[in-house]
Each structure stands twice: as structure tokens, then as C-alpha cells.
Amino acid sequence: MKSEAVLMRKVAVGGFVSLLLLAGCGGGTSNNQTTSSGSNPSFPTISLLAPNCAPAGEPVQLQVVGTNFAASSVVRWNGSARPTTMDAINGLIAQISASDVASAGTAAVTVFNPGAGGGSSNALTFTINSGAVAPQSIAVDPAGKFAYVASGGCGGDASMYTINPTTGALAFIGPPVPTNDEFTDSMTVDPSGKFAYVASSGDVWDIDFGSVVAYTINPTTGALTSTTGGITGTGINGTPEFFNSVAVDPSGKFAYAADGGAFPAGSFGGDSSVSMYTINSTTGALTFTGMIAAGSGPDSVAVDPAGKFAYVTNFESNDVSMYTIDATSGALASIGTIAAGPGPVSVAVDPAGKFVYVANWRYDTEGSISMYTIDATTGALTFIGSIAAGTSAFSVAVDPAGKFAYVANWTGNDADGSVSMYTIDDTTGVLTPTGTIATELSPTSIAIHPSGKFAYVTNSGSNSVSMYSIDSATGKLTLIGTIGT
């Protein structure tokens, strides 16, 4: 990476790297400034804050990691004590209220040990942002009225927008809502437009386990309300899971989560599997129904438009797992795997259910798109070739008419990304490039409006969403503008 402002939270171990960018958030490190502790080795020292930032107005459960903490240690916020408890794994946990982070700015965090021999630690800076940080994924509701963005920094949030039906422009509904987990990865809206789901791969730094959180959608305002559908994963061997992606089948009865995790396969929290759920049609709550093995490091999941088949990209094993779906139970049954390019991170099925496209990510190197046809009877994929994409291809989407495909290219930290544009041969499924268009920093996700008239790209490095109109004849994008998250 080119900048300390970007944190890779899925570390490169055994080849597994799935980049979701945290733009300076997630874990603060010691600034080594002189404090009242002087040189006394028994005084407390802070080495890390997790998170070290938050959106304005959102309360924070702050983890303070360091040395020489005691049961009587107190975390201080700008010099004032805050409710503090010991955490056996990570040190201290302090409760930071909404009023503490009411407006954008910074705060100094210290730890004080009372009594004889006590004293105050060094100070680390906590940043309060005006909006959510490091957007990772965007989804548009089926009616095209609302858009939702999962953000991966500062504790994880969901930003909400209305969509202007004429211009495609986004407008904030209100401040971001918490996702109850740090480092969110995937935002999905169910086919009815009643529920939204956010998948999180957790935090490898403070062993924050992943989850899938459910929300109801207000049909009039589009506002999200957390429901009783939060799932904290437990893997095949009883270890916690870290979810990379969630998809809902077209009937809205079943959901599937790729459990590639924040750790490599076989390690703590590193199950390579797909979790299966049924969906409560009234509340949207998820009920776990089982797991099925995938390849190594599953990263993205998609369901075909008929709800008969599911496909999962496996980042470590460079292949795609294929499944049939039981129409009654929603259970998956494996029908094998097929090779993809290096680092497959995103999968999309065309709206006719004839073709599958996989974005293959390579750090700081030209990416590619693997193309497949679908056997309408068995669901098996047949490889029909690959085509170049931009640097570090990260997310692929197909327009609702099945005429055009788009790939968001992450490119690299501190550099504008791009979207590669393609036409689709409706007979063969082969893509033909039609050019690229710039985004802002480090794009991570692309979504197409149900009308096929607009496209939206999350820019992780610049905390924004780029908005585009789509030429109905050529599929080419034209920038409408950008909006913060």
C-alpha cells in the first residue's frame, strides 16, 4: 500500500487478501508523545484505539489496548473519566456517549491509574467525522427509490439515501445508522424492498466477530430500523465466522452468506463455507439452517434470477463454487467448482440467468473478468473466456436489461479509480469493452438502478459515492456528481 491512511484489514496470509479500505480508521497507534507518566515503567501506556474514529452523534464502545492497566484504570476523554471496564483480551473498554461525539473534531484519549504509584498515560487522538467512513458496498431497492451504503470505517455504519427518479441524484435521508459491527463488507436489499442486510467480516485486529444484521425499510421514507435478525456466525468447527457477502434469493425466502472470513481457511474464524438462512417474511429476521463447504476464502455470493442456482467466488483457491438450491428448504447442494482468474472477488449473474461474470482482483495489477455460460438444467458453468479490466478489478455488475456490464477498479490507495464499461453479446455472453470512466479514490462497489438509467460507485478512499447516468444505446456512463457517506 502507498499510504499509512489505508489499513488492510484482511491480512495477506497464505495468499488471502481481500481489500476493504479503512481510510485511516479502525485502530489508532501510539504517538509516543511525552506524558505525565514520565519514564516510570509501571504507568499505563496506550498503544491502540479500536475504533479510533466515529461518525458524529453515534455512541462508541471504545477498546483501549496497552500495558500496565488495572481493574481500577479509568479511560479519560479530553481529561474527563468515562465508564470503564476491563477486557481480558484487549485491555479496557470505555463507553463514549453520543454527546461526547456530537460534532466533528478530535478528542484526546488517556488512561489514568489512581492511587499510589498511579498516573496518566500517553494520549491518542480519536477523530469524529461528519459522516460515515470508507464505504464498501452499495445496494438500490427494487423500486429504485432508495439506496443504502455499508461503510467499513469508524465502527461500521449504513448510510441511507433517496433517489431522484428523474436525475438519479442521491440525497441523504438522515445520519448513518449503526451496523453493530466494525468493518462492514456487503449491503443487500431483499427483492420485496422490505428488508436490508449488512454482512461484516469483523475485525482481525481486536478479534471482533463477524455478523449479518437485518433491517426493516420504511416504505415511505426509506429509513432503516434494526430488527431481531442479527446473526453472529459460528463455523463448522465451532469457531466464529467473518462474513464477506450476503445475497437473498429472488423469492425473498432464503439468504446466503460467504464465510471467507478475516483469517485464512483453517485458522481461527477462517471457515471456507456458505451459511444458509430462512427469512421471516414479516420481520426480515434470519434463522440459521446450516452450512455447506465452499472453496478456499469465499468472498462473494450471487443467486440466479430464477432462484435455482447459487455461485460463490473463492479468493484463495481461484475458483467458483456452484450450487443448486432446494426450492422448499433453500438448502444448497454442491455441483462442483470451476476455475476463475487470480483473486476472484465479485460475481454477478445476468438478469436472464444465462451468463455469469467474475471480477478477478490483483493488487496494483491489471484485473480481469472471467465469463461463463449457465446450463439452464444443471446450473453448471462453462468458461467462455476472460477479458481485461482496470487495475485491481474489485466489483462487477450487470444492468437490468442484460445489455451492459460494469467493473469498478480499485486501482490503489491515493489514486483515482475507474469503471470499465462493456457491452454484452446477448447470444454468447461475451463482453466487448467500450471504455473507462474515472471515479474518486479506491472504488469498492458498483450498483445499477433498476431502471437501467443510473449507476452508483462507492469510493472507499474518498468517503463518497459517485453517481452516473447510463446511455441507453451505448451503456456509457456520464458523471452526475458525488455525495458523501
Mean pLDDT, the chain, integer = 83
pLDDT digits (tens, 9 = 90+) for 135-185: 899 999 999 999 999 887 666 788 899 999 999 999 999 777 776 555 677
Average pLDDT over residues 352-360: 97
Helix, coil or strand: residue 82: strand
Kindly state the DSSP code that residue 3 receives in the 8-state scheme: -
Which own/partner pairs from 364-369 qualify as long-range (CB within 8 Å, at least 24 positions apart)? 364/391, 364/392, 364/412, 365/391, 365/392, 366/390, 366/391, 367/341, 367/391, 367/392, 367/393, 367/394, 367/407, 367/409, 368/341, 368/393, 369/393, 369/396, 369/405, 369/407, 369/422, 369/431
Cα–Cα distances in angstroms (integers) from residue 260 to residues 74, 164, 298, in the given order: 37, 36, 4
Are the CB atoms for 159 and 135 separated by under 8 Å?
yes
289-293, 399-403, 429-433: the lowest-pLDDT one: 289-293
Residue 18, pLDDT score: 35
Residue 228, pLDDT score: 59
Share of the chain above pLDDT 70, in %: 80
Kindly state the DSSP code that residue 10 receives in the 8-state scheme: S
Residue 112, pLDDT score: 94
Average pLDDT over residues 386-403: 96
Residue 22, pLDDT score: 39
> pLDDT-derived band of residue 12, with 50, 70 and 90 as boundaries?
very low
Q: What 3 state SS string does 373-442 have?
A: EECCCCCCEEEEEEEEEEECEEEEEECCCCCEEEEEECCCCCCEEEEEEEEECCCCCCEEEEEEEEEEEC
Residue 10, pLDDT score: 37
More confident residue, 388 or 24: 388
More confident residue, 163 or 131: 163
Q: Is the pLDDT of residue 270 over 80?
A: no
Residue 399, pLDDT score: 97
Question: pTM for this structure?
Answer: 0.82
Q: Is the pLDDT of residue 238 over 60?
A: no
d(CA 185, CA 246): 9
pLDDT digits (tens, 9 = 90+) for 45-92: 999 887 788 777 778 888 899 999 988 999 999 999 999 999 766 689
> pLDDT-derived band of residue 364, with 50, 70 and 90 as boundaries?
confident
Average pLDDT over residues 307-335: 96
Residue 157, pLDDT score: 80
Kindly state the DSSP code that residue 240 receives in the 8-state scheme: B
> pLDDT-derived band of residue 413, with 50, 70 and 90 as boundaries?
low
> pLDDT-derived band of residue 24, with 50, 70 and 90 as boundaries?
very low
178-187, 288-297, 378-387, 433-442: the lowest-pLDDT one: 178-187
Q: Of 17-26, 171-180, 212-221, where does the model show the most confidence?
A: 212-221
d(CA 28, CA 39): 22
Q: What 3 state SS string does 281-311 have?
A: CCCCCEEEEEEEECCCCEEEEEECCCCCEEE
